[in-house]
Structure 1
Amino acid sequence: MEDAERRRAHLAQADGSVVNLVAEDTGGEVVGWACHGPYRDGELRTCDAELYAICVHPGHVGRGAGQALLAESVVRCAAAGHSRLLLWVLKENGRARRFYERAGFQADGAEEPFEVDGAVIPEVRYARALPR
């Protein structure tokens, strides 16, 4: 529970460092959301950016909303001067891992447990160099 609370507090920062993006369908209905900002290394900020989350409505998975959100996050993080974009993904989430790998991300060997309500779920970190 402590990990989840720490992440909620970080995403709620109102200092402009956390960017939220939405994807809409042709009718203007929100079908996806992404959030990125400075990489979290404990309480220290690094020069890297982090993709905190991408969520797509289940009825729109596979239609390009996730790819568009990820591509826009890459563009914005590069424009902000970051050299890498990092993200954490559940180790057992093969579908998400393949999604990120197709977008040029690679697991970099870092792993950490994510705790939710007493359950420890292993995550792996992915990284991608950003264009200059």
Structure 2
Amino acid sequence: MIAQQRWRIERLAAEYTRGLAECHIACWREAYRGLVPDHVLDAFDIERRADQWERNRVRYPDSTHVAIADGTVIGFASAGAPHDESPVAAVELNALYVRSPWYGSGVADDLIRAALSSEESVSLWVFDENPRAKAFYRKHGFELDGARKIEEFTPALMVRMVRAAAVPLP
């Protein structure tokens, strides 16, 4: 039973880039089938994705965290400098994915805490037709800010969510 299994959160290391690529592609296929065209989801290549993650790991060594259970990457989060032309926050959460058998287990909560500091404002883009993800982000203090855009490689609408930096307690 998943609830009894444990995981650990680590910064992405070279030994996990292929596992991260496998997890990334599997998560996209699990979460977005029917929202993203099948030909896009089916075209993902594990080797090419692993190479991209390895380049990101080297270039941005502290930006990606992985959740590991029994030696397998079961989720990941990646955050860094905002990609928006006019950023509305100090940091952008670029990705947060967990394999579907781990939904509701707490893995995503641990990943978002590892990837983001409460001391900085954060923005993210999420598919408008992804109520599960939007509810998760709301639980973690994010709110829709009204910004919208079309995703780069599919006609799906993306909406931006923002979380303000926490006010330090006296």
1:28 CA drift (Å): 3.8
| Alignment map for 1:18-33 (pairs within 5 Å) | 19-25=63-69, 27-33=70-76
Q: TM-score, normalised by structure 2?
A: 0.59
Among 118, 123, 128, which residue is 2:158 paired with? 123
The residue aligned with 1:111 is: 148
Q: Which has the higher strand share?
A: 1
- Structure showing greater Rg: 2
Q: Percent identity?
A: 30
Unaligned runs of 5+ in 1: 2-7
Unaligned runs of 5+ in 2: 1-39, 41-48
Question: 2:41 aligned with 1:41, yes or no?
Answer: no
Equivalences, count = 116
Paired letter, 1:21 = H
Name the SS for the 1:39 alignment partner.
coil
- How far apart are the structure 2 equivalents of 1:46 and 1:107? 12
Q: TM-score, normalised by structure 1?
A: 0.74
| Alignment map for 1:1-132 (pairs within 5 Å) | 12-13=55-56, 14-16=58-60, 19-25=63-69, 27-42=70-85, 48-75=90-117, 78=119, 83-116=120-153, 119-131=154-166
1:71 CA drift (Å): 1.3
Q: Which has the higher helix share?
A: 2
1:46 CA drift (Å): 7.5
Alignment RMSD (CA, Å):
2.7
Name the SS for the 1:41 alignment partner.
coil
